Structure 1
Amino acid sequence: MLRQCCRSRALAALRPRTSQSQPLSRSLSLLQNSKCSQTSLPSRQARHLSTTKPQQAQDESKHTQLSEEFKECFAPPQMSSPETWSKPGSSIIVSGHIGRTRKVGKNLAFAHLERNGERIGQICAKGDNAAVLAKIRPFSAVLAKGVTTDASGATRFEIDMDSIQYLNPFPKDIIVGPDTVFPPEQRHLQLRFHKELKERLRFRAQLKSSMGQAMVDREFMDVETPILFKSTSEGAREFIVPTRRPRYAYALPQSPQQYKQVLMASGMGGYYQFARCFRDEDHRADRQPEFTQLDMEKSFATGKTIMEDVEYVVGRAWDAVREQYVMEVGEDSFAPVRKASLEDWRQSVQDSTKDDAKAPLYQEYPAISAPFLRMKYTDCMDLYGSDKPDLRIPNRICRVDENLNKDFVSMITDLDAPIVEVWKISPHEDADRRDVWKFVTEFMENLPKSLSQNPDGAPTALMFDSSKPLNGFSALGPEGLDSILGSLPEEAGFSSLENGDIVLFQARKNQPQQGGSTKLGEARIALYHAAVEAGLLDRDDSFKFLWVTDFPMFTPEEEGDVGQGGASGFSATHHPFTSPHSEEDFELLFKDPLRAKADHYDLVLNGVELGGGSRRIHIAEIQEFIFRDILKMSQDKIKEFSHLLKALRAGCPPHAGFAIGFDRFVAVLSGSSSVRDVIAFPKNNNGVDEFAGGPGKMTKEQLLTYNLQFRKKE
C-alpha cells in the first residue's frame, strides 16, 4: 500500500508532455534503470550493497524512492497571495482540495477548489488540459497554476489552468457520495464531508470568541487554573492520574471551583476561563467525561450581580449569532448557516439532495431580551414536573386529587392519600381521533421502565371523544371530567376541550418535592416529543430562557451517589461551597437542613440546563461548620479542603460565580440533540474515543513505573 501510495505521488505532475519538462515518475524511472547511476556509487557503498540481504536492499531502494518523491515537499512553490486572486490576467499558484470535475465536451472541464470546506475558486481547463484535469481524483490536495479570469458566483477566483499536480491524492478505496455515512472510527472523514459538523465547529468558535470578549467587557480577567489537581470530596466521581511516587496521584478537576474561590481570596476582582472539566460519570446524550465550561467568578458580588453578567454575555453572543447566521430548518431539526456563505451552502445542499427531498427553509434567529424569566425550584417542580422546564411545551401540570373519584385513584395507584396530577396536550385540530388514539396506545405500550414500572403507579392516558359516554372520561366516575374542571386554572389548558385532546394522570407520594423531575414531568416531555415526531404537533424552534432559583441546599443520598462522603445521609445539592439563601435558611441548618434553601441559580434553555452558579460561603468558620456539623464529614475529609479554608480565613470577600456548559450551549443553539455533534473528537456512551481508540490498556512496564497492580474481581 505504501509503495502504491508513493507511486501515485510520483505521478503528481499531471500536465501535457512537452520537451521542456518531464513528469517526476519518468525522471525517477530513468534514474533507476540507468547503469551509469548504479556504477557511479562509491566502491565502498557498492561492496556494501552487494553483500546486503535482499530485505535490506529492498528497504534501501524504498528509502531512495521516498527521498526522490518527497523532495518537492520540502521546497514547494510560493503560493500567490489572496489579494491577487481577484485580479483578471494575474498568473497565480493556488492550492486546496479539488472537487469533482465537470466535463463540458472533449476540450473543456471545470472543478471547484475548496479550503476549510468552502469553495474558494474554480479551475477551468481547456484543450489538452481538460483531460489532465479529468484524471485528478476528486477530494485530493492539489496545487494549480494558471491565469485569473473574471470570477462569477460565490467563488473568489477563476483560473485558466496551465498545470496541476497532487500535493496528496485522495485514495480510490474511500467512496464519497450524497448518502455516504462515515462511522465514528473515521471521524476525520465525518468532519470533512458532513458539512453540518464542520459548520457547527465554526459556529462554536464564533460563540467562544464573542462570549470571551463580552467577559472582558464586564471586567473579568482570563486566568488559567491547573488541570492536575488533587482528589477532594466535591460531589462527583473523579479521574485519577497516578504518579511515579508510590501511592500518590493527581485528580483531574471536576471544575475549577476551588481555585477560582482562592483567586477571589487573592484579591482578584473577576475571573473567567473556558475551562476543561472532567467527571467520571454516566454518559448520556448531554454528558461527556471531559467537557468545556465558561467559568466565572466575581468578588464583592451577589447572585443577582452574576445573573446580570450572564444575561449580558449570553445577549452579546446571541447578537453575534443573529448578525452572522441564519437557521436552516429541516424536517427534523435545524442547523446554523453563515450568511456570508449562504449561496454556496444552498448550492452544495442542492448538489447533495435527492430530487424528491424537501428543500430546507432558511430563517433568522429570533431576538431575545433580558432579564430572563425567573422561577423558584418548587414552582418548576409543581407546574412542570422538572427543575429545568421546557417552556415551549404547552399547558401546566395541576393537582386534582382533592376532587377525583376515589375509585379512579385506586385504579391508578396503590398509594394511600397520594397526590394526583394531570396534564393535557392538544394535537392538531384536523388530526383523526383514531390516529390519535392509536398513537397514545403505542406510546403507553412503549413507556420506559422508569415510568411503566414506577412503584407509585404508571401514568394513565384518556382521550376526549365526544362520541363516547362522558366524552371518554367515564373512568373518572359519574361526573366524568366535570369533577375536576372547576378546580383547574386557565394555565392548565382545560378551558376548551376538543376531540383528540389527551389527558395524562399520574400519582405520587404526598411529600415535598426533591430531585430533578417527577414521573409526570418525565412523561410530559416524552409524550410531547413523540407527538411532534408523529406530526400531531408542530415543532417549535423558538428559544425560551429561564432562571431557576431557590434550590434545596441538601438532597437525600441514594445508592451509588458519590456526594461528600459524610455520615449525614444527605449531600450538597450542587456543591458544599454554596451559601444558604437567607438568615432563615441558615437557622434551618440547625433544625431541619433538608428544608434549607441555597442561594443557587440555574440557567435553563428549552429544557436544557445550560449552567449553574451560586453565592459562595466566604467565611472559613461557616464553611468548616457545613463540612463537620451538617454534612458530618470526617476530619480527614475536611482536611482535603485545608487549602481553601486557609484562603477564606485571609479576609476573603463575599463572592459569587457561575459556569455555562459551553458544549450544551452550542448544541442547543445549533439545533443538535447531542453535544457530540459540537465536539471535534467526542467520546461515545461508554466513554471511548472511537477514532483514536482511547482509553488504552496499560502495559506491564507502565504498571511498574506507576507502582500499580491489577486486582481481580471477586
Structure 2
Amino acid sequence: MAQPRMLLRRLCSPRLPSRRPCRSLQSFYLQQRCLPRISQRPMSTGNPPAAEIDHGLLGKQLREEWAKYSQFPTASKASEFAEGNKVTIHGFLSNRRVMGSQMMFADIEVDSGPAIQVESTYKKNGSPAHKALRAMNLYSPVSVTGTIVKLHPGDGPSFSESFPDGISRIDLDLDSIQPLNIFPKDIIISKDAEIPKSKRHLDIRFTDELRTRLLARPHVGAQLRQTLVRLGFTEVETPILFKSTPEGAREFLVPTRKRGKAYALPQSPQQYKQILMASGVRRYFQFARCFRDEDLRADRQPEFTQLDLEMAFATGEDVMRTVEALVSELPAALNSRFVMAKHKNGINGHFHPVSRSSPKPSKDEEPQLSWPEFSTPFTRITYEEAMSRYGSDKPDLRIPFDIRRVDRALPRHFIAKIVGDVKDPIIEAFRFRPDFGSGTIPRSQVMDSVRGLIAGVMKTLPEALAKNPVGQPAPLLVNSEQPMKGLSSLGFDGYVNLMSGEPGLEDFADVQDGDVLVFQARENRPFSGGSTPIGLLRTLFYQAALEQGLLPRSFDFKFLWVRDFPLFTPNNRDDPGQGGKSGFSATHHPFTAPLTDADVELLATDPLKARADHYDLVVNGIELGGGSRRIHLAAMQEYIMRDILKMPHGLPLKGVEQFRHLLEALRAGCPPHAGFALGFDRLCAVLTGTDSVRDVIAFPKNMKGADVLVKSPSAVSPEQLEVYHLRYTAIPLPGQQEQEES
C-alpha cells in the first residue's frame, strides 16, 4: 500500500484533519487525509457494479486537484522560437536562484534540448507567477510560458521537434508557471545523497551518466538495424516460450496448466534461426531477449538482449566481415548526436555520452572527446595465441606488456621457490613498466609508487591466485642500486639468461629502474577455459596501474577476433553442458562445426584436440559476442550428439530426441550457414564508458538476480502452485545442501 499512500499524500492537502482508523476501504483514504466526507460502508469482497459506485468517494478536493494537474497548454514548436515571441515549455524545475524579494532565476530541465533559464520579477502589483515560482517545490514537473529574451547560439542540433537547432540556451521572461505534479519534500535530493537501488526511477532521473547512457542505447540499436536492413537482412521474431534443450547453460522453466508440461525461456534463438536457414530465409537478424540461469557478475544478467544474425550459403569469414561492417559504422552515428565526457575522477565509469544539444560539461569532467573510428579488418588471432601471449581468450590489447614463457632461462632453485607440488611446470612472466610521462619525477618517488602498486596487488589477490596450488605470483622490482638490479633471487645464471635478449626474451633485455618482472607457474598441459593465472595477473597489474596513475588511461577501442577454439571442453561443476557421458561438453554449443577435415578425423580418435570453426569478437578485454559455422548435415549433427558427446538417445524427453525438430529441419536440405550473436547490452556498456551492463539497462537485476524496485522474484502462493500442478518440497536440490553449508 506504500505507492497509493505516496501518491495521495502528494495530491491532497496536508491540512485536512486525520481520522481514526477503521476497517473499511473508505477509512483507508481518510487516513491519507484526502477525503473530508465519505459515507461509511463495509468493504465488499469484489468490485461493486459501475452503477453502485459512489462518485463522491473521490471527494471534491481530489477532483479539483486532478483538474489542476492534468490540464495544461501544449508545448511550442521549434518554429515558434524567436526573440520576443511568447512560448510554452514543459520540463522539470531543477534549480532556483533567489536574488531578493523582487527577482529570481530558475532553470527548467528539458530532455534533448538547450538549457532553459527563466527570469521572474515581482511586478504588476504582485505577480502570481512570481509567487508561484518561489513557492514551488524543486524537481516538480511544470509547464512554463514566457517571452523569449535571448537565444544563445550553439553548435549542436536539438534532436527534438520542440526546440530549434543551433541554440545552447534560452532566456525566458516568466509570464506563468503551472505545476503538473508536486515533488514531495520527504524525498531528499542532493549532490552527496546516495539513491537506493530500490528507487531506480529517481536514479535514472537524477544521475546524468545513467540517463544519457539510456538515451544512447536506442541510438546504437537504430544504427545497427539500419545497417543490417541495408545489407539485405530480414528481421524475424522468434518465440520466447520455447522448450527445454541442453544447449549448455541452465534454463528458466515456465510451468503450464497442463500437468507435467512446461515451457523453457530461450538461452538464445540458436535453434530457431538454424531452422530459418532450412526455411529459405537467406539473411536473418533479431534483437532477441535471452534468458540464462547463471551466476551473475557486472557484465551478466539473467535476462539480456543480443543482436542475433545468421547467413545462409556463408562461411565464418563472411560473417566476420559483415559484423565488422556493422560495428565500424557506430562511431559516426554516435558522434552525430553525442560527445564523450571524460571524467577526471573516474566515478560512474571512465566517460559517458553527452548530447550535443546539452550545455557545457561540468567542472568534474575534462574536455569532451569523439568516438574514434574503428579501423577494419579487425586483428585475428587463434585461441592458442591469445592464451599464450595474453593469458586470456578475451585479451585487452591496450595493456602494453605481453606474457613470455621463461622456464628455459631460469635455474631450478628459483623455479622451486615459486612452484608448488607440481612436476614439470611451465613458468611465464611479463615486464610491467610504469609511465611517468616526461621523466621529471624523482627516482625515490618512482620506486615508492611501484612498491605501493606491488603491495596493493599482492594484498588483494583473488582466491584463485592467492591459493593457487601451482604456486603464487613472484613480482621482482628492478632497482639498479642493488646487486643484479634487484634480481639476485634469479641467481647469476638466471639473471644472465633473462637479460640475454634471445628470441622470446627481448622484453627483459633492457629493464630499467621501476620495472616489475612478474613470474607465475602453471601446469604443463594444453590450454583450457578462459584464462591462465598469469593472464589474471596481467589484468590486475594494468587496472591497479590505471587507478594509481602509473599508466595513462586509453580511450581507444581495440577490437580483435579470437578464433579456432577447442571444439570440446572437459566438464566442470559450474556448467551443466549437454548431459552426455563423454566427460566433456561442447565449448560453446553442440551445433558448432569442426574447423577442418583434420578436425573431423580427430572426432573419432581424440575429440579434445579437435578445433571449432568458432570466432569471438573482443574489445578491450570484453567478449562482445561469438559465432560459428554450423553443422548443416543432420547425420553429422546426430553423430556428434549421440556418439561423441554420448548424449542419451532413444528416450522421448532426454538427450538427442530433444533436438529432433532441428535434425528434421537439417535433413530437409538445409544449406551451409554461419552466424553470430552480439551482446547488445555489453556493446552499449563499452561504447558509453562503463564496466557494468546494469548502467545501460533501465531496470536491471542485482547480483542476486533480484529487481529491488518491484521486488521480484516474489513468493508464490499455494493457490498459484496448485493451478500449475506444483507443490513445495523439503527435498534439497542438487548442490543446494553443499551451498547452504558453505
- TM above 0.5, yes or no, is yes
1:396–1:491 Cα contact (<8 Å) kept: no
Give 2:648's aligned residue: 634
Shift, 1:175, TM fit: 1.5
Equivalent AA in structure 2 for residue 438 of structure 1: G
2:12–2:62 Cα contact (<8 Å) kept: no
2:404–2:504 Cα contact (<8 Å) kept: no
Shift, 1:158, TM fit: 4.1
2:69–2:179 Cα contact (<8 Å) kept: no
In the aligned structure 2, how far is the partner of 1:194 from the partner of 1:152?
26
Give 2:484's aligned residue: 470
Give 2:67's aligned residue: 71
Query: Structure 2 vs 1, CA of residues 164 and 491 (structure 1 numbering), >3 Å: closer, same or farther?
Result: farther
Shift, 1:420, TM fit: 0.8
Equivalent AA in structure 2 for residue 176 of structure 1: I
In the aligned structure 1, how far is the partner of 2:54 from the partner of 2:246?
60
Query: Structure 2 vs 1, CA of residues 106 and 626 (structure 1 numbering), >3 Å: closer, same or farther?
Result: same
Equivalent AA in structure 2 for residue 696 of structure 1: S
Q: Please, which of 341, 344, 350 is the counterpart of residue 334 of structure 1?
A: 350
Equivalent positions of 1:443-458 (< 5 A) are 443-458=457-472
Shift, 1:200, TM fit: 0.6
1:464-489 Cα deviation digits (max 9, x unpaired): 11111111111112234222233654
Shift, 1:59, TM fit: 11
Shift, 1:82, TM fit: 1.3
Q: Do residues 428 (structure 1) and 435 (structure 2) align?
A: yes
Give 1:39's aligned residue: none
Equivalent positions of 1:174-213 (< 5 A) are 174-213=187-226
Q: Please, which of 313, 316, 323 is the counterpart of residue 300 of structure 1?
A: 313
SS in 2 for 1:301: coil
Query: Structure 2 vs 1, CA of residues 9 and 446 (structure 1 numbering), >3 Å: closer, same or farther?
Result: closer
Shift, 1:428, TM fit: 3.0
In the aligned structure 2, how far is the partner of 1:270 from the partner of 1:641?
23
Give 1:685's aligned residue: 703
1:55-89 Cα deviation digits (max 9, x unpaired): 99999565343223213556x24404313541344
Equivalent AA in structure 2 for residue 95 of structure 1: H
1:79–1:92 Cα contact (<8 Å) kept: no
Equivalent positions of 1:314-713 (< 5 A) are 314-331=327-344, 332=346, 333-338=349-354, 340-342=356-358, 344-346=359-361, 349-350=362-363, 359-413=365-419, 414-429=421-436, 430=441, 431-486=445-500, 488-489=502-503, 493-635=507-649, 636-713=654-731
1:398–1:488 Cα contact (<8 Å) kept: no
Shift, 1:492, TM fit: 5.5
Give 1:21's aligned residue: none
Shift, 1:54, TM fit: 11
Shift, 1:290, TM fit: 0.6
Unpaired segments of 5 or more residues in structure 1? 13-24, 30-48, 354-358
In the aligned structure 2, how far is the partner of 1:287 from the partner of 1:491?
38
In the aligned structure 2, how far is the partner of 1:62 from the partner of 1:190?
32
Give 1:108's aligned residue: 103
Equivalent AA in structure 2 for residue 326 of structure 1: V
Range 117-126 or range 632-641, more displaced: 117-126
1:235–1:564 Cα contact (<8 Å) kept: yes
In the aligned structure 2, how far is the partner of 1:613 from the partner of 1:295?
10
Query: Structure 2 vs 1, CA of residues 634 and 676 (structure 1 numbering), >3 Å: closer, same or farther?
Result: same
1:550-599 Cα deviation digits (max 9, x unpaired): 00000001123200000000000000000000111101101100000100
Query: Structure 2 vs 1, CA of residues 269 and 107 (structure 1 numbering), >3 Å: closer, same or farther?
Result: same
Equivalent AA in structure 2 for residue 337 of structure 1: P
Query: Structure 2 vs 1, CA of residues 544 and 531 (structure 1 numbering), >3 Å: closer, same or farther?
Result: same
Shift, 1:257, TM fit: 0.3
In the aligned structure 2, how far is the partner of 1:632 from the partner of 1:446?
42
1:506-530 Cα deviation digits (max 9, x unpaired): 1111111111111011111111111
1:402-426 Cα deviation digits (max 9, x unpaired): 2210011111113211111111101
Query: Structure 2 vs 1, CA of residues 507 and 589 (structure 1 numbering), >3 Å: closer, same or farther?
Result: same
In the aligned structure 2, how far is the partner of 1:576 from the partner of 1:477?
50
In the aligned structure 2, how far is the partner of 1:441 from the partner of 1:590?
50
Q: Do residues 290 (structure 1) and 286 (structure 2) align?
A: no
1:255-291 Cα deviation digits (max 9, x unpaired): 0000000001000010001111100000011110011
In the aligned structure 2, how far is the partner of 1:674 from the partner of 1:54?
51
Shift, 1:433, TM fit: 1.3
Q: Do residues 94 (structure 1) and 107 (structure 2) align?
A: no
1:9–1:166 Cα contact (<8 Å) kept: no
Count of aligned residue pairs for this structure pair: 670
Say which structure is richer in helix.
Answer: 1
1:328–1:362 Cα contact (<8 Å) kept: yes
Unpaired segments of 5 or more residues in structure 2? 18-36, 45-52, 154-166, 733-742
Equivalent AA in structure 1 for residue 147 of structure 2: V
Query: Structure 2 vs 1, CA of residues 104 and 52 (structure 1 numbering), >3 Å: closer, same or farther?
Result: closer
Instruction: Normalising by structure 2, report the TM-score.
Output: 0.86
Query: Structure 2 vs 1, CA of residues 177 and 215 (structure 1 numbering), >3 Å: closer, same or farther?
Result: same
2:81–2:87 Cα contact (<8 Å) kept: no
1:424–1:492 Cα contact (<8 Å) kept: no
1:589–1:630 Cα contact (<8 Å) kept: yes
Give 1:133's aligned residue: 133
In the aligned structure 1, how far is the partner of 2:450 from the partner of 2:417?
23
Give 1:32's aligned residue: none
Equivalent AA in structure 1 for residue 672 of structure 2: P
In the aligned structure 2, how far is the partner of 1:698 from the partner of 1:660?
35
1:395–1:491 Cα contact (<8 Å) kept: no
Query: Structure 2 vs 1, CA of residues 3 and 119 (structure 1 numbering), >3 Å: closer, same or farther?
Result: farther
In the aligned structure 2, how far is the partner of 1:258 from the partner of 1:135?
61
In the aligned structure 2, how far is the partner of 1:408 from the partner of 1:51?
90
SS in 1 for 2:712: coil
In the aligned structure 1, how far is the partner of 2:145 from the partner of 2:8?
23
1:372-429 Cα deviation digits (max 9, x unpaired): 0000000111111111110111121111112210011111113211111111101135
Give 2:229's aligned residue: 216
Equivalent AA in structure 2 for residue 130 of structure 1: H
2:38–2:56 Cα contact (<8 Å) kept: no
1:316-335 Cα deviation digits (max 9, x unpaired): 11221233332222232432
Equivalent AA in structure 1 for residue 106 of structure 2: A
Equivalent AA in structure 2 for residue 82 of structure 1: K
2:393–2:530 Cα contact (<8 Å) kept: yes
Give 2:738's aligned residue: none
Give 2:20's aligned residue: none
In the aligned structure 2, how far is the partner of 1:118 from the partner of 1:575?
47
Range 406-415 or range 155-164, more displaced: 155-164
Q: Do residues 240 (structure 1) and 253 (structure 2) align?
A: yes
Give 1:40's aligned residue: none
SS in 2 for 1:506: strand
In the aligned structure 2, how far is the partner of 1:50 from the partner of 1:588?
82
1:145–1:162 Cα contact (<8 Å) kept: yes
Range 224-233 or range 141-150, more displaced: 141-150
